[in-house]
Structure 1
Amino acid sequence: FLLADEAMLPVYDAAAYQRFKDSGAATADLLEAGLYTGAYRVDSLDSTAARLSAWPQYWGGPPPLSSVTVKFVPEASARIQAVQAGEADIALYPPTATALTLSGRSDAFYVTGDSTGPTFMLEFNQRSAPFDDPLVRRAVYAAIDYDELADDVMNGLYSPAIGLYADSRPWAEKTQTFDPAVTAALLDQAGFTRTGDGPRTRDNAPLTFDMLTYPQQPDSGALALAVQAQLARQGVGVTITQVPDITEAVEKPTGWQAAIRGNGFISFGGDYVTPLLNYVRTGGPDNVTGVSDPALDALIDQVAVTLDPAARDDLLRRIQTVVGDQGYLGYLGERKGAVVAGPAWRTYPVPIANLWVGPQTAPTG
């Protein structure tokens, strides 16, 4: 799997890199060193755009586009308006709600691709209350109506999340189920009681938490609003805070409680080990929630060196069971990749990875 994953093994000219290293040149000069083997080379990069030109010596033949400009436009509506005005060919990361607003238009099209698994993590900071208690974590996951999120909130353009993986994976276990009765029982057990339709309280303090979203993935905001409404039905209060950099926010051990982030649990190349090591193993580089479970670590270490498919599947199922039973991590939905494309690009094949322009990318309209 790792050999097929461009995020793990970038391709470059090793001999050219050695010459560059031996020259003692500054790291900033790497872009001009002729190291890479892609169809386009970076001419300039700043906070507003990356500008690339076709590389005439590309091993696969002349690229179809003479140049590519990638503009960095934080506001999703501005990106889409640029496509509608003919100022851009493709807008990345459109809100799913855009699909309805573009229906019937001829200047921009909502184009979807395939999905490899659940998309948006709902993460809880387990270092502090209320999510230092697994009963509360499990209760919140059980209070979420995953079918409603996929079918109503996201207009059928999502599939409901069942856990860490898509149900098409042979090892997938359903560890997430909407069950208000379970939520009530778990919160009662945790000491958060409720009278009638009032808020859940413990020692006269309401059960509330803040949930982070971020503008680069507009669907995180729509999902947060829906989860806020669903949890309100169970007496749990949620505030929503949008932050400019979600990664920076959650990498801090304190100062946040919950976050919605767009991260899958299997790599683009099909690697199932690295996400486990990163997100839920003790000390993992992306283990921002503070999961630390020696029994889970042992299972992850074991699956990392297991080659037999049946034994691997069994270990992965056991890992999912531990994660679900402890409320370590959950997902809100499985989104198809999507872009908003202009008329000439309406048949653009949306990739599963963030490689938006490849050696065959060209308009067909």
Structure 2
Amino acid sequence: MTTKMNRRGFLATTGAAAGALGFLGKAAFAQDGGTLRFGLSAYPPSFDVWASNGTAAGTIKLMCHRGLLSYDKDGVMQGELAESWDVGEDGTWTFKLRDANWHDGTPVTAADVAWTVTEAQKADSAAYLQGQLATITSIETPDEKTVVMKTDGPQAVLPNWFAHYNMSIMKSGSERDSMMGAGPFKLVSTDRGVSLSLEANTDYYKEGMPKVAGVEAIVYADENLRVAALEAGDVDVVEYVPWQAMAQVGDNDSLQLDTTFGPFMYLTFNGSKPPFDNPLVRRAVGHAIKREDIAAAAFYERGAPLEHLPIADASEFYNADLANSWNYDPDKAMALLAEAGYPDGFDCTMLSTAQYGMHQSTAEVCQAYLSMVGINVTLDLPEWSTRIKKGNEGSYDLSVMGTAADNNDPDGLANVLDGSLPAAYARSYGLETPEISELFKKGRAIFDAEERKAIYKELEQIAIDTAPIMGLCWREQGYGLAGNVSGFSNMPGQLTFYSGFTLEEAMLG
């Protein structure tokens, strides 16, 4: 039986129908809450609020900024600067803003939201969601607390865009790298490459938050030093606990290990030139690699092979009949290479990074297996900011990438798969995906659950056939915490990189 879902039913499933949160007013602070010391894996390459520059940058931005919406610790959408949101029968979305102030004490208004969206829509904005935002055709502000967005067609997933950590609202006229936001902390000082200091925003709109007086974010690019700093008590929280150290942290009675399963490793391709402009070659790469060895070498058995699109088996959109479509089959890989005109293989360069051990180890396993089918890979392993730059510029033949979907809806994979979006390091360079792009567009316009399942299954089959990316491995993602830290949480599944949201609730003692 087909289940029909109207707009109101769809809203209920996203949390929007109960969008208003019971925030009780301005924060009441415990000024003796202490300073939380957070061990970052990298110094943010940029503070551009709407650009994607990795988890470390996202964590800092989430301390200073807030969007219209966010997710709670269980992954349910909730209000932030918007206290409620609704969609009309004509597909128009309306957001009602709560009382909130910018760090400079001035009120957050509907005009700020309209300016933010208009700026992020611009082709040169470098906004992670620029392509999606371009579908918003008008923004009306009938009063200071109401924002009305009209789109070029129904957009069932529009709230997900405004819950994304790269879509914070900015004060009208701000520079894109301004850290003057409406979030729980204010950036006080920076020591480039070393640390960042933040203090509590005493005018934050949530009562009793943040719960610490400040955060000192300290960079430990070396993953072993990051763990050592946690064990020594030099920091209270660290991101990216290396997989080889997870048991060590988890078994330490004075520490806590908070992990989730959802991020994934995959390959992107430079589709602007041979040989990876050919889908047969891209599929050959997938069949040449034994993914169990990546799980073992890079993730110390805290990973699992990924031989299809990264849709978890617990998802209602999971298709068991497609789960092994990119299975390890070296004979098939060599047959595909021969069919593509490369019976003797070829030489190429694989971009990765030495800054994160799992990226380098994944690249090394791929290099070894590809050599067995005649693809001779030279590794390029720069530090993270250079890796991002090269990825954005297409300065590679194929590359190792690791991320999570933007959210737990299949549309959250658009920024990995949709070649119609502006160039970005998280997806293949110069590779057009017209059928996939059209199906994403179709899926966004549908509110019926069963219709959406059919659309995304068709999309997955086309992706398997054309390989705009190549799935490699699911992975666990972990934060390490001192025993006296509470409140902070590793958010579930694909939302793990949103975990910086919960720093407003972190406590010491």
TM over 0.5: yes
2:509 corresponds to 1:355: no
2:426 corresponds to 1:308: no
2:430 corresponds to 1:290: yes
* Corresponding residue SS for 1:355: helix
- Aligned amino acid, residue 470 of structure 2: G
Shift of residue 123 of structure 1?
A: 0.5
Contact kept in structure 1, 2:292 and 2:305, CA below 8 Å: yes
Provide the residue aligned with 2:265 in structure 1: 120
User: Matched residues in 2 for 1:211 and 1:28: separation?
Assistant: 32
User: 5+ residue gaps in structure 2?
Assistant: 1-13, 20-61, 71-79, 82-99, 116-170
Contact kept in structure 1, 2:295 and 2:301, CA below 8 Å: yes
Residue number among 61, 64, 67 corresponding to 2:214 in the alignment: 67
User: Matched residues in 1 for 2:251 and 2:478: separation?
Assistant: 17
Per the alignment, do residues 348 and 36 of structure 1 end up closer, same or farther by CA in structure 2, a change over 3 Å counting? closer
Higher relative contact order (CA 8 A, sep 6+): 1
User: Matched residues in 2 for 1:44 and 1:263: separation?
Assistant: 29
* Alignment map for 1:53-202 (pairs within 5 Å): 53-58=199-204, 59-61=206-208, 63-99=210-246, 111-116=257-262, 118-151=263-296, 153-164=298-309, 165-173=311-319, 174=323, 175-193=325-343, 201=344
User: Matched residues in 2 for 1:257 and 1:143: separation?
Assistant: 17
* Corresponding residue SS for 1:171: coil
Per the alignment, do residues 282 and 100 of structure 1 end up closer, same or farther by CA in structure 2, a change over 3 Å counting? same
Provide the residue aligned with 1:198 in structure 2: none
- Aligned amino acid, residue 358 of structure 1: L
Shift of residue 73 of structure 1?
A: 2.7
Shift of residue 26 of structure 1?
A: 6.4
Per the alignment, do residues 37 and 181 of structure 1 end up closer, same or farther by CA in structure 2, a change over 3 Å counting? same
Deviations 1:132-186 (A, max 9, x none): 1211110001111223322464222112213222222222242321122211211
- Aligned amino acid, residue 391 of structure 2: V
* Corresponding residue SS for 2:198: strand
User: Matched residues in 1 for 2:480 and 2:234: separation?
Assistant: 13
User: Matched residues in 2 for 1:279 and 1:77: separation?
Assistant: 33
User: Matched residues in 2 for 1:44 and 1:96: separation?
Assistant: 32
2:365 corresponds to 1:231: no
* Bigger strand fraction: 2
* Alignment map for 1:244-255 (pairs within 5 Å): 244=383, 245=385, 246-253=387-394, 255=395
Deviations 1:193-234 (A, max 9, x none): 3xxxxxxx2xxxx52222111245331111111112222333
Contact kept in structure 2, 1:2 and 1:8, CA below 8 Å: no
Per the alignment, do residues 138 and 30 of structure 1 end up closer, same or farther by CA in structure 2, a change over 3 Å counting? closer
Shift of residue 278 of structure 1?
A: 6.0
* Alignment map for 1:199-214 (pairs within 5 Å): 201=344, 206-214=345-353
User: Matched residues in 1 for 2:264 and 2:110: separation?
Assistant: 41
User: Matched residues in 1 for 2:187 and 2:255: separation?
Assistant: 28
2:328 corresponds to 1:328: no
Shift of residue 248 of structure 1?
A: 1.1
When structure 1 is superposed on structure 2, of 135-144 and 40-49 the one drifting more is 40-49
2:414 corresponds to 1:272: no
Shift of residue 290 of structure 1?
A: 1.9
Q: How many residues align?
A: 345
- Aligned amino acid, residue 16 of structure 1: P
Per the alignment, do residues 140 and 361 of structure 1 end up closer, same or farther by CA in structure 2, a change over 3 Å counting? same
Per the alignment, do residues 339 and 29 of structure 1 end up closer, same or farther by CA in structure 2, a change over 3 Å counting? closer
Shift of residue 359 of structure 1?
A: 2.9
User: Matched residues in 2 for 1:90 and 1:350: separation?
Assistant: 11
Identity, in percent, stands at 19
User: Matched residues in 2 for 1:24 and 1:314: separation?
Assistant: 41
User: Matched residues in 2 for 1:320 and 1:8: separation?
Assistant: 31
Shift of residue 274 of structure 1?
A: 5.0
User: 5+ residue gaps in structure 1?
Assistant: 194-200
Contact kept in structure 2, 1:279 and 1:285, CA below 8 Å: no
Per the alignment, do residues 81 and 170 of structure 1 end up closer, same or farther by CA in structure 2, a change over 3 Å counting? same
Shift of residue 62 of structure 1?
A: 5.0
Per the alignment, do residues 61 and 108 of structure 1 end up closer, same or farther by CA in structure 2, a change over 3 Å counting? closer
Per the alignment, do residues 66 and 215 of structure 1 end up closer, same or farther by CA in structure 2, a change over 3 Å counting? farther
Contact kept in structure 1, 2:212 and 2:508, CA below 8 Å: no
Shift of residue 50 of structure 1?
A: 2.2
Provide the residue aligned with 1:241 in structure 2: 380
Per the alignment, do residues 323 and 99 of structure 1 end up closer, same or farther by CA in structure 2, a change over 3 Å counting? same
Provide the residue aligned with 1:196 in structure 2: none
When structure 1 is superposed on structure 2, of 340-349 and 310-319 the one drifting more is 340-349
Per the alignment, do residues 331 and 347 of structure 1 end up closer, same or farther by CA in structure 2, a change over 3 Å counting? farther
* Corresponding residue SS for 2:306: coil
Contact kept in structure 1, 2:271 and 2:428, CA below 8 Å: no
Contact kept in structure 2, 1:278 and 1:284, CA below 8 Å: no
Per the alignment, do residues 227 and 30 of structure 1 end up closer, same or farther by CA in structure 2, a change over 3 Å counting? closer
* Corresponding residue SS for 1:297: helix
State the Cα RMSD in Å: 3.4
Per the alignment, do residues 27 and 237 of structure 1 end up closer, same or farther by CA in structure 2, a change over 3 Å counting? closer
User: Matched residues in 2 for 1:277 and 1:153: separation?
Assistant: 24
User: Matched residues in 2 for 1:19 and 1:329: separation?
Assistant: 39
